[in-house]
Amino acid sequence: MKLARYLKPPQVCLDLDFRLKERLGEAGVDGVGDPWAVKVAVLDVLTHLLATTGRVGSQKKLLADLVNREKKASTALGGGLAVPHVRSKQAKEFMLCFARSEDGVDFEAPDGQPVHLFFCVCAPPYDDRFYLDVYRSLGAVFGHPEIKQAFLDARDEHEVIRALSRYQDDPVDSFGAGG
């Protein structure tokens, strides 16, 4: 699955820590206060990134949908990765965005570790199969340390997109580690 075709530079945020500090102040990001506020702030940044596609009905309602989905169960997968995802009436079609936190964010990961990489997936309610295929593909991408490292090391939005585009059906072979 060629996921990179859904990711454009305006949908990539490499300075998530800065944006969170703008929204919450230093104390809020460091966990002083309400940890849920940090999650909502992350989802707000992701919603803004999705809105750059021009495919969002109401940004406020999409944020509410993402927050309600996150309340059901954390979308953090562990290993420094979270994939917030939702099927929403606010999505005119499939959307994808990416954000990176160098400091890491407490996002209730099952391994208790901070999350550094966020991929947000949003699709219309009727798009079940494609939506689930994308979600599984993202999970498979990050099962390989060299791919995760490419996202951590990316210096700009284009490097993020190139890293994602190198993944096709076999992420190990795509990164030259396969045999």
- Where are the domains positioned within the chain? 8-140
- Note the pLDDT of residue 176: 41
Phi-psi region of 21 (alpha: psi -120 to 50; beta: other; left: phi over 0): alpha
> Alpha-carbon distance 162 to 154, whole Å?
9
- Note the pLDDT of residue 116: 96
**Which residues of the chain have a pLDDT value below 50?**
169-179
Q: Read off the pLDDT of residues 40-64 as tens digits, 9 standing for 90 and up.
A: 999 999 999 999 999 999 999 999 9
CATH number of 8-140: 3.40.930.10
- Note the pLDDT of residue 56: 96
- Note the pLDDT of residue 93: 92
- Note the pLDDT of residue 25: 79
